[in-house]
Amino acid sequence: MSDTTPRVGLFARYAIAFLRYFFGTHALVSGLNYFLHFLPDRIPADPRGHAFVTAMIATGLFDVIKVVEVVVGIGLLTGRFVPLLLLAELPISITICGLALQAPTPRSIISGPRELLLNLLLMVAYGQYYLPLLRSFGAEIGPLWRVPPREWFSTASRSQGAHPVGSVR
Amino acid sequence: MKILDNLFSRYDQFALAVAAVLVVIRILRDRSRRPR
């Protein structure tokens, strides 16, 4: 981050860390439990939710989701690739929230929206990483294969906003 | 405890405990690294 990056207060720093650890552990346990079955499985009781989840299991897509959850959990707990993994987890959080609100129980009415809120809150906390995505690069920037891999993470290209390769080569 | 059990699943309770322990470890680690 540059010198203009605002300093994070101690409380906020540890609060964000706490939420990241909580969200990461939750994802890791949920993902691992699907393969190892050390806790009771949580298939929605609501017929629509049940049908949705059983169809996902039958098609094998649930396996993919649970692998993503394991990767997200490991990443959030170790602090690696956090912005990318939060983005990968977002569709899963939206689905969990939607399923939980289909037939709300006293627990799911909190746990569903909480999942989505935590995901969004952490994305806001790491929001500076997403800001470049919100710029309108238009046609200025070239494709990634035109950029030598050693320059992908160079500070110069990041601070300019667009990679120099875009308009010249 | 009954209310807590209704609001937080086993997953949640485990995740809360792990998060709390990891934050405490991080605080202690940061404090030990800080120059005196």
- At A65-120, the pLDDT tens digits run 999 999 999 999 999 999 999 999 999 999 999 998 887 877 788 888 999 999 99
Residue A73: closest CA among A133, A109, A26: A26
A89 and A38 within one domain: yes
Q: Which residues in B10-19 are b (16+ Cβ under 10 Å) and which e?
A: ebbeebbebb
Confidence of residue A162 (pLDDT cuts 50, 70, 90): very low
Token representation of residue A78: 């170790």
Q: Please judge whether B15 and A26 are an interchain contact, meaning their C-beta atoms are less than 8 angstroms apart.
A: yes
For residue A3, is it within any domain? no
A54 shares a domain with A37: yes
Domain with A20 in it: 10-134
Q: Which residues are CB-contacts of A137 (< 8 A; sequence separation ≥ 6)?
A: A161, A162, A166
> Is A29 in the same domain as A101?
yes
From the list A19, A26, A33, the residue facing B12 with the nearest CB is A26
pLDDT at A126: 96
User: Min CA distance, A149 vs chain B (Å)?
Assistant: 34
Tell me the whole-structure pTM to 2 decimals.
0.82
Is the domain of A168 the same as that of A108? no
Q: Is A43 on the interface with B (CB under 8 A)?
A: no
Q: Is residue A124 part of a domain?
A: yes
Question: What is the interface pTM, i.e. ipTM, of the complex?
Answer: 0.85
Whether A18 and B23 have beta carbons less than 8 Å apart is answered as yes
Integer Cα distance of A113 and B1 in angstroms: 22
Burial class, A107, CB count within 10 angstroms (exposed 0-12 / middle 13-18 / buried 19+): middle
Q: Rounded to an integer, what distance in angstroms lies between the CA atom of residue A168 and that of residue A165?
A: 5
